[in-house]
């Protein structure tokens, strides 16, 4: 049996199906049919082998011809009424009986014989017609074979023509290359002649310069004497300036010394405050009743070596998250309106009540009194439930509306622009957080910091249009917020006079066909504030092109290296014509995206995951919060406990790796919330060091959590930036 080599499944299925439908189909006919339908060549032996493997072969020997149509002979009539007549020829002759037929019988027999002949003639004609039909079918099959041969010959002729055209084009290209080579040689010869002419002119110029130098030598001597006199005068002026500067420096040193003393006094006051709070905490560690506990408000250490840890990681993490979404602030404002007090006076007590279920501390006397006062307010509970429910409402993104162009869509976390509002759900943000960012960027005129333009090969049309609008000073008319369901729910009007600018990252391997580096400067080691890191920075100028828009633009920025010998890691570009220093531009971007390479991997993974599961509608909705159904029947303390659970769910959903969304508060409490932390505060930042041991199993996920938190630029109520770090104990 033959062996079938390298036949695709669809070819095998085609052969078997056609043979089953038409058992009389031969290998040759099937070869032509495959060539016609599938445009491939298969040998007859391969087809025959497939027939044998699938028991489709015809029996060996001559084919059985069709049986001739049977002709039913008419039955003979029964002859009745005949008379037997016996003739006697002689005595010794035997007696014979003869049937004498009447005339009617003979007539009927004649008619029957005629009918038999007609039936035979009809059968013969039918056989001849069947033979003609078979001949016509055979002729038709031959004609179809001929047509297929003609089609194959036409295809071969077209293929030959195509090959001849390719050979002709190659010949033309070769001729063009030869002409170009000859032209290049001629241009080289002309350049050599031009170079010789320039050298001759340069020699003549040098001779002229030598002559002039001889003439100017005497004049230079006189000039030297004059310069010496002027230098002497400048030295005298410099000495006078240095004396004045020394006097000014002494005065500044005195001022700095005074400021230093004032600062030391402030630090001492903060340390005394810390000691007092630490003593209160030590007392709270020996609980006597409900009214002795340490307040949970964050009072960071103002020193590089703080005392014993005051907080667990869970309290700090969820308090930072609360600052991001603004829940505690809104709840405190509602309580202050109800009891008629200043919101700033009771914010720490409100925080203590909310985070009690997580910290495990008992109420202090003051907080217990505050709690009882809230309980006595009848309507405050339903209002707090509504505030908490509204706090977690998410916006998928914002639509920037331009009066004379298409809108631009930006995700809620300001990663990038998008061609449609169908943005990955992982990039949604709470309405409070999005509004805060929009206020900074479009009303306070701070620079918009986008992570990167998505894509690899061609610069995205929507991102390019955003850059053109900014550079052409085409200000947006309004902003429209839309939910995860793409429902638009909030429109914000803008002042046409407001200006906005954009800073974004560009990767060295991105859009290589749509960009061109015009200039790149020398790299030098610079200290980048905000991330407290030294990086090699160099000035860069890049042309960006968009083929579909047939436009280009030029931007300046800084290129970043972590080592002088390595290739460029990232380029940060700025649309503002007022140039920033390289250190400020790098700090502006890296404060938002400090772990930019890891952030790009997470960014790409979330986009890829959404492209595969976007229709599944996997986003955080109110149905996943029990408070929506239970809020009206809960006590204030239970409402606050539910708020902690909702903060935990929001943290697991948006800040931890995939898989944690299906866990619960007990799981994250065990994995992340029980770690000790150290707080190191400066004027504008609170460094939160999360400590763990050598055997800690969730270090990788903790690092991921820290990266996502730092990207959101979370600030406390007093404006200090939360900056999370991790370290071994």
Whether residue 214 has pLDDT greater than 80: no
Task: Report the pLDDT averaged over residues 34-41.
Answer: 84
Three-class SS of 266-330: HHHHHHHHHHHHHHHHHHHCCCCCCCCCCCCCCCCCCCCCCCCCCCEHHHHHHHHHHHHHCHHHH
Task: Report the pLDDT averaged over residues 451-469.
Answer: 90
User: What was the pLDDT predicted at 615?
Assistant: 61
pTM of the predicted model as reported, rounded to 2 decimal places: 0.59
User: What was the pLDDT predicted at 542?
Assistant: 95
User: What was the pLDDT predicted at 296?
Assistant: 37
CA proximity to 303, closest of 678, 569, 699: 678
333 — pLDDT class (breaks 50, 70, 90): very high
Task: Report the pLDDT averaged over residues 120-132.
Answer: 85
Biggest distance spanned by C-alpha atoms of the chain: 193
47-105 per-position pLDDT tens digit: 888 888 888 887 765 555 555 555 455 555 544 444 444 444 444 444 444 445 567 77
Q: Do the Cβ atoms of 412 and 397 come closer than 8 Å?
A: yes
- Range in 314-318, 386-390, 616-620, 656-660 with the lowest mean pLDDT: 616-620
The token pair that represents 359 in the structure block:
């910290």
Q: Do the Cβ atoms of 59 and 13 come closer than 8 Å?
A: no
User: What was the pLDDT predicted at 40?
Assistant: 86
Whether residue 301 has pLDDT greater than 70: no
The token pair that represents 259 in the structure block:
């400021």
Listed by start position, the domains of the chain span 9-53, 313-392+620-728, 394-593
Choice between 541 and 619, residue whose per-residue pLDDT is larger: 541
CA proximity to 647, closest of 633, 668, 632: 668
The three-state secondary structure class of 702 is helix
Q: Do the Cβ atoms of 46 and 4 come closer than 8 Å?
A: yes
The CA–CA distances, whole Å, from 706 to 530, 702, 711 equal 16, 6, 9
Task: Give the separation between CA 626 and CA 128, rounded to whole angstroms.
Answer: 89
């Amino acid at each position: 049996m033959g062996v079938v080599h390298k036949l695709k499944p669809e070819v095998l299925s085609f052969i078997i199906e056609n043979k089953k439908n038409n058992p009389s189909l031969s290998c040759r006919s099937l070869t032509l049919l495959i060539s016609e339908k599938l445009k491939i060549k298969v040998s007859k032996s391969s087809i025959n082998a497939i027939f044998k493997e699938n028991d489709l072969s015809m029996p060996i020997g001559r084919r059985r011809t069709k049986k001739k149509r049977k002709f039913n002979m008419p039955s003979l009539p029964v002859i009745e009424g005949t008379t037997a007549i016996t003739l006697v020829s002689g005595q010794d002759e035997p007696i014979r009986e003869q049937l004498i037929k009447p005339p009617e019988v003979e007539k009927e027999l004649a008619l029957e014989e005629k009918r038999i002949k007609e039936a035979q003639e009809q059968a013969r004609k039918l056989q001849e017609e069947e033979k003609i039909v078979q001949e016509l079918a055979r002729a038709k099959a031959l004609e179809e074979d001929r047509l297929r041969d003609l089609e194959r010959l036409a295809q071969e002729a077209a293929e030959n023509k195509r090959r001849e055209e390719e050979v002709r084009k190659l010949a033309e290209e070769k001729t063009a290359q030869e002409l170009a080579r000859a032209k290049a040689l001629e241009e080289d010869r002309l350049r050599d002649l031009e170079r010789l002419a320039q050298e001759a002119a340069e020699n003549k110029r040098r001779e002229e310069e030598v002559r002039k130098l001889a003439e100017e030598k005497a004049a230079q001597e006189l000039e030297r004497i004059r310069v010496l006199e002027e230098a002497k005068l400048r030295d005298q002026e410099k000495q006078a300036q240095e004396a004045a500067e020394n006097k000014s420096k002494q005065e500044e040193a005195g001022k700095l010394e005074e400021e230093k003393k004032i600062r030391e006094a402030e630090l001492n006051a903060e340390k005394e405050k810390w000691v007092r709070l630490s003593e209160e905490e030590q007392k709270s560690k020996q609980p006597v009743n409900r009214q002795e506990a340490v307040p949970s408000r964050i009072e960071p250490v103002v020193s590089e070596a703080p005392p014993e840890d005051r907080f667990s990681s869970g309290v700090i993490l969820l308090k930072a998250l609360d600052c991001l979404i603004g829940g505690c602030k809104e709840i405190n404002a509602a309580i202050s309106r109800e009891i008629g007090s200043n919101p700033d006076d009771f914010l720490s007590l409100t925080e203590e009540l909310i985070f009690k279920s997580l910290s495990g501390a008992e109420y202090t006397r003051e907080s217990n009194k505050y709690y009882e006062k809230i309980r006595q307010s009848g309507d405050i509970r339903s209002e707090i439930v509504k505030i908490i429910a509204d706090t977690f409402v998410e916006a998928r993104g914002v639509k920037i509306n331009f009066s004379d162009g298409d809108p631009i869509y930006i995700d809620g976390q300001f990663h990038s622009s998008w061609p449609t509002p169908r943005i990955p759900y992982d990039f949604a943000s709470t309405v409070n957080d999005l509004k805060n960012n929009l206020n900074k960027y479009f009303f306070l005129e701070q620079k918009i910091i986008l992570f990167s333009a998505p894509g690899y090969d061609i610069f995205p049309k929507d991102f390019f249009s955003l850059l053109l609008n900014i550079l052409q000073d085409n200000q947006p008319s309004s902003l429209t917020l839309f939910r995860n369901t793409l429902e638009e729910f909030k429109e914000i009007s803008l002042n046409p006079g407001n200006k906005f600018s954009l800073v974004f990252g560009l990767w060295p391997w991105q859009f290589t066909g749509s960009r061109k580096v015009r200039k790149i400067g020398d790299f030098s080691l610079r200290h980048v504030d905000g991330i407290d890191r030294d990086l090699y920075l160099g000035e860069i100028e890049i042309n960006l092109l968009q083929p579909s828009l047939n436009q280009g633009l030029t931007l300046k920025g800084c290129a970043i290296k972590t080592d002088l010998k390595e290739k460029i890691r990232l380029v940060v570009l700025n649309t503002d014509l007022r140039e920033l220093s390289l250190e400020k531009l790098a700090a502006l971007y890296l404060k938002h995206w400090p772990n930019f390479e890891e952030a790009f991997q997470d960014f790409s993974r979330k986009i890829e995951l959404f492209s595969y599961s976007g229709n599944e509608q996997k986003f955080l909705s109110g149905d996943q919060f029990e408070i929506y159904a239970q809020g009206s029947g809960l006590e204030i303390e239970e409402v606050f406990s539910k708020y902690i659970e909702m903060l935990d769910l929001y943290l697991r959903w948006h800040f931890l790796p995939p898989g944690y969304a299906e866990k619960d508060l007990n799981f994250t409490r065990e994995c992340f919330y029980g770690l000790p932390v150290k707080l190191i505060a400066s004027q504008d930042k609170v460094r939160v060091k999360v400590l763990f041991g050598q055997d800690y199993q969730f270090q990788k996920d903790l690092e991921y959590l820290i990266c996502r938190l730092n990207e959101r630029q979370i600030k406390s109520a007093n404006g200090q930036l939360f900056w999370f770090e991790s370290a071994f104990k």
